[in-house]
Structure 1
Amino acid sequence: MDVAKYIGLFLHKYQYCYLPNLGNFLVTRKPALQKGDQMEGPQYQVSFTFANGSIDDALANFIATNERISIANAANAIKDFCTQTREALTEGKEVTIPGFGKFVRTEGKNTFVSDQNIEVQTRTIPYFKTHAPAATTTGETISQMYEKMQLKEPTIDEEIVIKPPMVNWSKIIILALIVLAILGAGIGIYWYMSKDNNDAAPKVENAAPEAAAVRNDTAATATAPPPAQAAATPSNGYNYAILQFTDKAAADKKLDKLKAFGQDSYGKDLSLKENGAGVYYITMSVAGNSDTAVVKDSLRKFFNPNGNVFIVK
């Protein structure tokens, strides 16, 4: 912490400063002088009296406010500065107070040497000339001056030009670019989310588009299997048709994709079957004698939420 700097700032603002165990500063001002038409500002002199110094918390409060520390810490810093200044003067060193002067030791005596030009900001008093000659008049009468001050109404013969309003194209272009950027960002986010949904696990996918078009015409065969297709309860479980296609290529592609997803779990239980009427089923074998209604409901939720799951031979 530079205590000397804060002493200079405090003197600049308040024109006095008390330093404990060192002495007291005082800034005096000589009055302003008028020389001809000019007014010279006041001159300032700083004096320092070496003494025990008065105790004043104003400087400590000033330092604490600017350094954001406690007043006690600021007071201790001031005391340390005063002690170090006395020691420095005893060793023949100089201690500078910025903007005001410096402490020196000459002929075995401590003194304070002030700067030649001390600038202290104070409120100034405006100065007005009272002996300036009166301004010469132009010789115009009051009626003539009044006529110049009046707003003239346009005459009938006077042409009035109406300028069209100016269009700020730069702002319009910037606004359009911002709107396009927002729209582009929205489309990009929508496309990215749609892509993620399409590439997610098979639980969100349904049958191929070609199969969906045919199933609308053959709803009976695609949504509810004929009684002949229902298999008797085997000892090793059931085969469940989880997806239906009318295009074998689409069915093979879907089967490969499902096996790739479940190669370590359910992939080995998947197979492709045809019902003889051009409809291909992707089936999954489920071992055991579990509740078929529960199994079908689980498979439907996972593989074909919008379709039908049923048991095949």
Structure 2
Amino acid sequence: MQVAAYISDLLYRHECVVIPNFGAFISRRVPAQYFESTHTLYPPKKGLSFNEQIKQNDGLLVNYISTVEKLPYEDAMQEIRNYVRFLDHEMDEKGEITIHKVGRFTRTAENALSFTPMYLVNYLPEAFGLSMQETYAIDRTAVPVEKPTPQPVASISKMEPAPSKTNEPVEKPVRQLETPASRSAAWVRAAAAVAILVAGSYAGLYSYQTQQFNDAVAVEEMANEQLKSKIQEASFFISTPLPSVTMEVAPIVKNYHVVAGAFRDPANADKKVTQLKALGYDAERIGVNKYGLHNVAYASFAERNDAINELYRIRKQGNDGAWLLSGSLKK
């Protein structure tokens, strides 16, 4: 029987799994870790440890084996005893034993069990599918960029004339180098030309928009004058007035009452109403019940939810004797 597989299954769902008469595996949550020395990121996991002092059977492993293998409880317990004897025998013979997917056991100089967990197995369900990630450092050293040195540009001021048919010497034009001052003057002239064009365009656009606005105002004034003349010419006469309409609105029926008390004597009921009104309640006598008692309400409502909310509020103020009455009473 693969008892090690059942131990591994339980470690996914429980924080403590006891092998009776051997020891207990205890798990705890370990957050994600980053090791700067190796640039490695590890996901969160369940860290395993072993406590040799916890040997008492808690029934978890036995019941699980009994359910999965469909064995009686005593037979499952016997399987665990056989497995523990196997572990002890291997430790005595080889000095170490490995439980698959759980960890490795060895003996210390004091003959105590030393446990090394299996780091490649992650028993944290939330981290399923996550694995170790290796990162790489980014070299952020700035690389200097060399700026090119501007070179002077030669320009030809005039075209060379065609050679003369005569033998007279022809004077050749001299090439002039373009200087920073000449380039600056050229830019100034170009900018001035652009500014003149923009100013002219803006002036034309402003003139056009102004004309459009004046035209719209004139049209609106003309329409207003025509409307006034039409109103002055018209006259309204109502020869037969409309008959008045009388509508009957059904009164709001408040059949939900937060009752403060019931009194045999009407005078006591009226006294209670006066006291509640002095405290700010919309109190009133709501009628006589079948026992002949006069009921006094803190307030009455048309909606049940409003009455329930008021009842809760009144009880929170210490009036535990308040209760809800539905329906109407005879006056």
TM-score, normalising length: structure 1: 0.35
TM-score (norm 2): 0.33
Task: Choose between structure 1 and 2 for higher RCO, CA contacts under 8 A separated by at least 6 residues.
Answer: 1
